[in-house]
Amino acid sequence: MVTTESTAPSTAPTPLSATNFDPASFDFNAYLTAQRQQVETALKQSIEVVYPEQIYEAMRYSLLAGGKRLRPILCLATCELAGGNPALAMPTACALEMVHTMSLIHDDLPSMDNDDYRRGRLTNHKVYGEDVANLAGDALLAYAFEFIAAHTPNVPAERVLQVIQRLGRAVGAAGLVGGQIVDLASEGQSDVTLETLNFIHMHKTAALLEVSVVSGALLAGASEAALTHLTRYAQNIGLAFQIVDDVLDITSTQAELGKSIGKDEAAQKATYPSLLGLEASQQRAEQLIQTAKAELADFGEARQPLLALADYITARTH
Amino acid sequence: MVTTESTAPSTAPTPLSATNFDPASFDFNAYLTAQRQQVETALKQSIEVVYPEQIYEAMRYSLLAGGKRLRPILCLATCELAGGNPALAMPTACALEMVHTMSLIHDDLPSMDNDDYRRGRLTNHKVYGEDVANLAGDALLAYAFEFIAAHTPNVPAERVLQVIQRLGRAVGAAGLVGGQIVDLASEGQSDVTLETLNFIHMHKTAALLEVSVVSGALLAGASEAALTHLTRYAQNIGLAFQIVDDVLDITSTQAELGKSIGKDEAAQKATYPSLLGLEASQQRAEQLIQTAKAELADFGEARQPLLALADYITARTH
């Protein structure tokens, strides 16, 4: 059992009921549904529509467009795993989804991937125009940091600063943006190596999943040993997540995926299937998930949600 | 004298020498030059060029393109005014310039103001392309928060969180972005009221100047009374700054300003000169500066840099 430092401030909010699971009868579908509902409620409450209404509506349009809410759920799960009250992690969980949504809005812009559909709806700029969409992304990014700083009063401030520092790093040039830059530079290149492809996805996708996993545990005061295991878990599921994404771009339908499909091939993008083949890609994803799950061995029964979340990533069809 | 809580952690870095001015012989030009040099040095050191080089080069291209560095200098000045060591405020000062630079990069994009020149050089997207410019802005915004959180260890973490919260608010929908949204909606409208114009500029320009002024004092542990005076000072110089900007768009040359001029009239933008006339606008800016300076009455001789900075704003020609 990896030891975790307990956080139990006397003013802590009531624990989120749905997360107090019984390991013997753990029902992942019920868990996922309950967690997702709590995240949806918190996200809805996070942004009020005031003057000038258009910007708040544009932010809400993409933030509340559904989606798996995987990043917030991972954050809440590791907070609880590390002995923390997941309610303390909810502002950070919401911020992770704000940052993820910003990256989707900006990525869909005509000057980037030029996508018309996302999560089954028109993309932000198709509804609000490019200028407003760009600003809605900026506003979501800035608000994410404000939201964590303003709404995490029952956690030692040093821990909150660590979360902010890691989130900033995960989004910026050393994370998501760095991955996108290499992705853009690789488009149309016929000689993209597996090493480059790994760099792209470790930064474009895995970095944000990593901070999602680590931030929940950090807020709960997890030990260094626990953080190391969780970081490796996150990196492995992050890469697996992207491989599955590449596979789904080939094998799924637009209706299932809710966004344009076949775009990778059309853009001559290097993907895991194009480098390794479809079957070997699926096997690689499966291996990564097994490695991720093995990192959780020391956490005992409390690891069940994270085990199931890892499986969920490879089993998903959208 | 407004009382300020002193901060003197034993591990504090060496004070910045140039800011230890003698009130009797205060030389504003020397002060401004020295402060600007320290800010330039800190900004240069803030971003290292590593793989993938292009994104770090794009960030540095705009961040190190000169400029008045007014926001960082205001932050350092109020930190010292409130009895703090300005070295403690330098990471925040740099972050303010990163955020300001992000707003310029995104504002210059073809889908926004579509500007080719900024600070006398080609705009970021003219050099690096729209996709990279957009990502460079995102990366600068995320890095600003990371930079404050990572590099302000000698200030109580609660104060640092307050700075992050206020900076996020100043940039997002309740600040800069909100001002830009109303600005975009007002373009080409012939019935823009002075109230709307004030809203635009209190958010688009004054909000970031306000957090520049307030954050330095916050880091130094300034009293509520001091923060209130400094907030009013900042709001008044912020609005004056924008009025002067509007005036300069008419009276200056492109060579002096370093960016495209006459754009407001071409875009049929409501400006203070178009609503009030040129002379009345200049008078209004002068009044606001006097009001700003009056807010500093209780700070004694230490207020000299802020008095001179207020004058500098209305006297500038670029």
Q: A226: closest CA among A173, A299, A284?
A: A299
Query: What's the pLDDT score for residue B7?
Result: 39
Query: What is the per-residue pLDDT for A269?
Result: 80
Inspect the interface and report whether the beta carbons of A139 and B184 lie closer than 8 Å. Answer: no
Q: Are B259 and B119 in contact (CB under 8 A)?
A: yes
In a domain, B259, yes or no: yes
Percent helix, percent strand, percent coil in chain B, to nearest 5: 70, 0, 25
pLDDT at res. B298? 93
Give the list of residues 6+ apart from residue B135 with CB closer than 8 angstroms, or none: A106, A177, A180, A181, B55, B58
Calpha distance B301→B297 (Å, rounded): 9
Q: Which of B143, B176, B42, B276 is nearest to A169 (CA)?
A: B143
Cβ distance of B165 and A146 shorter than 8 Å:
yes
Mean pLDDT of A97-126: 96
d(CA B121, CA B64) in angstroms, rounded, equals: 11
For the ranges A50-64, A215-229, B16-30, the lowest mean pLDDT is seen at B16-30
Q: How confident is the model at residue A31 (pLDDT cuts 50, 70, 90)?
A: very high
Nearest to A294 by CA among A306, A284, A283: A306
Chain A stretch 168-227, residues whose beta carbon is closer than 8 A to a beta carbon of chain B: 168-169, 171-173, 177-178, 180-182, 184-185
In a domain, B48, yes or no: yes
The answer to which of A22-26, A205-209, B187-191 has the lowest mean pLDDT is A22-26
Residue with tokens 């303010």: B96
Of B111, B141, B178, the CB nearest to A130: B111
B315 interfaces chain A, CB cutoff of 8 Å: no
B109 to chain A, any CB pair closer than 8 A? The answer is yes
- Dihedral sign, CA of B202, B207, B213, B214? positive
Those residues whose C-beta lies under 8 Å from the C-beta of residue A48, and which sit 6 or more positions away, are A56
Residue-averaged pLDDT of chain A = 90
Q: Residues 227..286 of A with a Cβ closer than 8 Å to B: which?
A: none
Residue type, A244: V
Residue B130, pLDDT score: 97
Directed axis angle between helix A207-219 and helix A224-251, to 10°? 150
Residue A21 in this model has a pLDDT that exceeds 70: no
The amino acid at residue A45 is Q
Size of interface A-B (CB pairs under 8 A): 157
Asked if the Cβ–Cβ distance from A52 to B178 is below 8 Å, we say yes
Q: How confident is the model at residue B257 (pLDDT cuts 50, 70, 90)?
A: low
pLDDT per residue as tens digits for the range B282-302 = 999 999 999 999 999 999 888
Touching check for B105 and chain A: CB below 8 Å? no
Beta-bridged to residue B122, according to DSSP, are B117
B297 touches chain A (CB under 8 A): no
Lowest-confidence range among A65-69, A118-122, A249-253, B188-192?
A: A249-253
Q: Which two tokens stand for residue B199?
A: 């809203």
Per-residue confidence (pLDDT) for residue B258, from 0 to 100: 65
Query: Rounded to an integer, what is the distance from CA A98 to the centroid of its chain?
Result: 10
Going by pLDDT thresholds of 50, 70 and 90, the confidence category of residue B1 is very low
Which helix (DSSP H) or strand (DSSP E) does residue B208 occupy?
helix B207-219
**Which tokens go with A176?**
């998501």
A34 contact B CB<8A: no
Confirm whether B12 is domain-assigned: no
Residue B180 within any structural domain of the chain:
yes
Is A164 near chain B, with CB under 8 Å?
yes
Contacts of A30 (CB under 8 A, 6+ apart): none
More confident residue, A249 or A293: A293
What is the phi-psi region of residue A16: left when phi exceeds 0, alpha when psi lies from -120 to 50, beta otherwise? beta
Q: Can you tell me the distance from the alpha carbon of B293 to that of B307, in angstroms, rounded to the nearest whole number? A: 6
Q: Which of B146, B165, B180 sits opposite A135 (nearest CB)?
A: B180
Task: Give the range among A15-19, A152-156, A214-218, A300-304 with minimum mean pLDDT.
Answer: A15-19
How many other β-carbons are positioned within 10 Å of the β-carbon of residue B298? 12
Count of structural domains, chain A: 1
Distance, in Å, from the CA atom of A210 to the CA atom of B186, rounded to the nearest integer, reads 42
Residues from chain B that touch A165, judged by Cβ atoms under 8 A, are 146, 149-150
Please write the tens of the pLDDT for every residue from B53-108: 999 999 999 999 999 999 999 999 999 999 999 999 999 999 999 999 999 999 99
Residues of B in contact with A158 (CB under 8 A): 157
| pLDDT tens-place string over residues B109-119 | 999 999 999 98
Q: Which two tokens stand for residue A6?
A: 């307990």
Q: What's the pLDDT tens digit per position in B9-50? A: 434 344 443 445 566 679 999 999 999 999 999 999 999 999
The residue written with tokens 């300020």 in the block is: B4
- What is the DSSP annotation of chain A? ---B-----TTPPPPPGGG---GGG--HHHHHHHHHHHHHHHHHHH----SSHHHHHHHHHHHTS----HHHHHHHHHHHHTT--HHHHHHHHHHHHHHHHHHHHHHTSTTTT--SEETTEE-HHHHH-HHHHHHHHHHHHHHHHHHHHHS-TTS-HHHHHHHHHHHHHHHSTTTHHHHHHHHHHHTT-S---HHHHHHHHIIIIIHHHHHHHHHHHHHTTB-HHHHHHHHHHHHHHHHHHHHHHHHHHHHS-HHHHSS--SHHHHTT---HHHHH-HHHHHHHHHHHHHHHHHTTGGGGGGGHHHHHHHHHHHH---
Q: What is the pLDDT of residue A105?
A: 98
Is the pLDDT reported for residue A50 higher than 70? yes
Residue of B nearest to A103 (CA): B138
Which CATH number fits the domain that encloses residue B294? 1.10.600.10
Range of lowest pLDDT (A278-292, B151-165, B239-253) = B239-253
Q: Which domain holds residue B202?
A: 28-315
> Residue A130: its chain B contacts at CB < 8 A?
111
In chain B, which residue's Cα lies nearest the Cα of A151? Answer: B165
The confidence score (pLDDT) of residue B250 equals 85
Given a contact cutoff of 8 angstroms between Cβ atoms, the answer to whether A86 and A80 are in contact is yes
Contact A54, A128 (CB under 8 A): yes
Q: Would you say residue A18 has pLDDT above 50?
A: no
Q: What is the pLDDT of residues B134-178, one digit of tens each?
A: 999 999 999 999 999 999 999 999 999 999 999 999 999 999 999
Confidence of residue B308 (pLDDT cuts 50, 70, 90): very high
**Residue A4: its pLDDT value, please?**
41
Could you tell me the two tokens for B9?
């952690």
Q: Which residue spans within chain B are E strands per DSSP?
A: 117-118, 121-122
Helix axes B176-186, A130-150, angle to 10 degrees: 160
- Average pLDDT on B250-279 reads 76
Q: Which residue(s) pair with B74 in the sheet?
A: none
For residue A3, the model assigns a pLDDT of: 40
For residue B118, the 8-state DSSP code is E
Separation between Cα atoms, residue A54 and residue B181, nearest integer Å: 8
Q: Which residue of A has its CA nearest to B200?
A: A52
Lowest-pLDDT choice from B5-9, B253-257, B260-264: B5-9
Question: Is residue B10 situated within a structural domain?
Answer: no
pLDDT band at A261 (very low <50, low <70, confident <90, very high): low
More confident site: B76 or A252: B76
Q: Which of B315, B222, B306 is nearest to B35 (CA)?
A: B306
Structure-model confidence comparison of residues B44 and B187, the more confident one:
B44
Residue B22, in any domain of the structure: no
Judged against a pLDDT cut of 70, whether residue B225 lies above it is answered with: yes
pLDDT of residue B2: 42
Chain A's closest residue to B166, CA to CA, is A146
Q: What are phi and psi of B222, to 5 degrees?
A: -60, 155
| pLDDT for B259 | 65
Q: Do the beta carbons of residue A74 and residue A309 sit within 8 Å?
A: yes
Segment A239-243 shows an average pLDDT of 94
Mind spelling out the 3-state secondary structure of B250-292? Answer: HHCCHHHHCCCCCHHHHCCCCCHHHHHCHHHHHHHHHHHHHHH
- Kindly tell me if the per-residue pLDDT of A11 is higher than 50: no
Can you say how many angstroms the Cα of residue A193 is from the centroid of all Cα atoms in its chain?
26
Radius of gyration of chain A (CA): 19
Strand partners, A122: A117
Minimal-distance CA residue of chain A relative to B128: A181
Residue B255 banded pLDDT, cuts 50, 70, 90: low
Tell me if A35 is assigned to some domain.
no
A21 in any annotated domain? no
Q: Which amino acid is at B274?
A: S
